[in-house]
Amino acid sequence: MIEKKSENLIFNGQQLFYSHQSSALNCEMTFSIFIPPQAKEKKCPVLYWLSGLTCTADNFTSKSGFQRYAAEHGIIVVAPDTSPRGESVKDIKDAWDIGCGAGFYLNATSEGWKDHYQMYDYVVKELPGIIKTNFPCNDKASVSGHSMGGHGALICALKNPQQYQSVSAFAPIVHPLDCPWGTKAFTTYLGDDQTQWSEWDAVELIKQGNKVDHILVEQGLADNFLEDQLKTDSLKTVCAENKLNLILNDREGYDHSYYFISSFIGEHIKWHAQFLN
């Protein structure tokens, strides 16, 4: 059962927010969904958007301006929250990079976290089931995201190449085993046994033979997190070594913000459209 929270007309499509009780996360969750005008006449493909650290379902929806392009290309766009939330959900007060707002799109195994932090199962299994049941979508889907959500998009696609036609990312965390954000999250959610970590790391998954046909990455060269946290060159290297079709656009002067995302989201939706339509 899903409950509509709001609805607005934009570019002749519907921008809606819903809440529902998640069985995967054991809490109430919120997602936004844009229904393009073409959905009045036919079923449309879906692009799932995964947001970054501290974000909710609202950030991308209200800041990126994606609706203009999704309406043009006839694509449903779904943006879930970034983590479980609520009084019963474990959190660390004043830690913005762990807990609520920082689910990292994995399935936690650590005590205290595993009861709620199953974001991978939510994004890959539960949420698509809800969308297919309740909205006019066809069987084609792609996935995109930003920062932590770029990490999520990459691992979801690499682990489920049959489920997504294409994957793109803005400033993704590509090698969380080798960056402070990732090692903190993995230690917290997965424990100290690093043999578990590689299945949630895009670079490691590609090394292990996981493949996806179409990858597009956008990276601002003025991004303060590029060298220490994002390590985009690691993805470039491993894709070249394993002959994966990566398009990497380095953008001079752009940072990590939604100004960056809004500048190129139209190009990403157009790129996904060639595989979805």
Q: Are 166 and 75 in contact (CB under 8 A)?
A: no
Give the Å distances, CA to CA, from 145 to 5, 79, 111, 155, 165: 23, 9, 28, 11, 15
Rounded Cα–Cα distance for residues 95 and 201 (Å): 22
Tokens 């209200």, residue located: 62
The catalytically annotated residue of 64, 223, 234, 268 is 223
Q: 147 an active-site residue? A: yes
Kindly give, in sequence order, each residue whose CB lies less than 8 Å from that of residue 74, ignoring residues fewer than 6 positions away: 36, 37, 38, 39, 44, 45, 273, 277
Q: 223 an active-site residue? A: yes
Tokens 């919120």, residue located: 30
Phi, psi of 63 (to 5 degrees): -110, -25
| Sign of the dihedral defined by the CA atoms of residues 24, 25, 28, 32, in that order | negative
Distance of CA 255 to the CA centre of its chain: 19
Rounded Cα–Cα distance for residues 145 and 151 (Å): 8
Q: 255 an active-site residue? A: no
Bridge partner residues of 20 (DSSP):
2, 29
Burial of 192 per CB tally in 10 Å (0-12, 13-18, 19+): exposed
The catalytically annotated residue of 73, 151, 256, 268 is 256
Rounded Cα–Cα distance for residues 73 and 274 (Å): 9
The catalytically annotated residue of 51, 83, 147, 234 is 147
Give the Å distances, CA to CA, from 219 to 77, 115, 233: 22, 34, 10
By annotation, the residues acting in catalysis are 147, 223, 256
